[in-house]
Amino acid sequence: MSLSPARREEYEIPLQPLPGLKVERELSLGQRLWQQGWLRKSVILLGLALIWELAARYQGNDLLLPSFLQTARAFIEGVGTGELVEKTAISLSVLIKGYLIGIGMAFLLTTLAVSTQLGRDLLSTLTSMFNPLPAIALLPLSLLWFGLGENSLIFVLVHSVLWALALNTYAGFLGVSETQRMAGRNYGLKGLRFVLFILVPAALPSILAGLKIGWAFAWRTLIAAELVFGASSGKGGLGWYIFQNRNELYTDKVFAGLAAVILIGLLVENLVFATLERVTVKRWGMQR
């Protein structure tokens, strides 16, 4: 004999209105300010500067570790005399040339890789061979092939940008969904037009990541290369500025040169790449 479950009486509880209750919560001035990314990063930088200043005063040897204020003074003097600005302009000029050439070559390699089997094998083989090879290790060859000067620096910069960007771009192309690929084929897109109008927009987050990695590799490779080229030919950019002042024991100027390298990295990351992400992948809903 089966027993039917007991039936419970249905009832409804009316909700009482809540007059005067504010749906939106007002934020204090401090909370609104703390939501600004630039302010939080500025607080972090000020904290690091304070730690630096205290550590330098505790250490008490300006030759080994100049204080933050001494470095700031040397930086302002270098900008005022124009020497630091000139060295920075030299470095950025060479960097942009090598960076753009590396981007173009990476795009050609990845376009060939997504178009033909031979291109895929070529990209896989070249990246396996040359990606683990440090760009700075090619300095002796670049000196033999191109001599002292800008072309040798551009050669090592292209190497530092090319493989990281090609790998990230190709990985992004492989991650494009088959639905988007079929949509492109339905519109009759093939070859370069298919890459430009379908693969590149869909893989843009990976491409931007590759551009960031390539920029970081190129920037530090350039500074390291200029140390060598500056010592050899007596000229160069920020790397030579750092090397020369190290030889003359102007440690505050050495730190000023390093600060210039860091500031340029911060500006490129927070102005160029952040703006590019904001107007593309974040605006399109592809990235949080």
Question: In whole angstroms, what is the distance from residue 265 CA to residue 260 CA?
Answer: 9
Q: Which residue has the higher pLDDT, 155 or 288?
A: 155
Whether 75 is covered by a domain: the verdict is no
In angstroms, the first-to-last Cα distance of the chain is 60
Domain CATH for 277: 1.10.3720.10
The two most distant CA atoms of the chain are separated, in Å, by 103
pLDDT digits (tens, 9 = 90+) for 160-181: 999 999 999 988 888 888 888 8
pLDDT at res. 199: 83
Residue 114 lies in a domain: yes
- What pLDDT is attached to residue 198? 83
Task: Answer whether residue 236 is part of any domain.
Answer: yes
The confidence score (pLDDT) of residue 146 equals 82
Asked if residue 206 belongs to a domain, the reply is: yes
Percent of the chain with pLDDT over 70: 93
Looking at the domain assignment, is residue 47 inside a domain?
no
| Position 202 in a domain | yes
Question: How many separate domains does the chain show?
Answer: 1
Q: Could you give the CA distance from residue 3 to residue 150 in angstroms, rounded to a whole number?
A: 92
Cβ–Cβ < 8 Å for 158, 99: no
Please tell me which of 137-141, 153-157, 227-231, 282-286 the model is most confident about, judged by mean pLDDT: 153-157
Q: DSSP string of 88-131?
A: HHHHHHHHHHHHHHHHHHHHHHHHHHHH-HHHHHHHHHHHHHHT
- Please answer whether residues 238 and 254 qualify as being in contact, where contact means their C-beta atoms are separated by less than 8 angstroms: no
Residue 233 clears pLDDT 60, i.e. is over it: no
Higher-confidence position of 19 and 263: 263
pLDDT of residue 230: 59
Q: Taking residues 269-279, report their average pLDDT.
A: 85
In a domain, 48, yes or no: no
User: What number is the average pLDDT over the span 14-34?
Assistant: 74
Average pLDDT of the segment spanning 175-190: 82
Q: Which residue has the higher pLDDT, 22 or 66?
A: 66
Inform me whether the pLDDT recorded for 231 exceeds 60.
no
Locate 23 and state its tokens: 């749906």
Residue type, 246: R
**pLDDT of res. 248:** 84
> Given the structure tokens 């190129």, which residue do they identify?
218
Q: For residue 279, what are the domain limits?
A: 96-284
Half-sphere exposure of 244 (CA within 13 A, CB side): 18
Question: Residue 104: pLDDT band by 50, 70, 90 thresholds?
Answer: very high
147 in a domain, yes or no?
A: yes
CA distance 216 to 223: 11
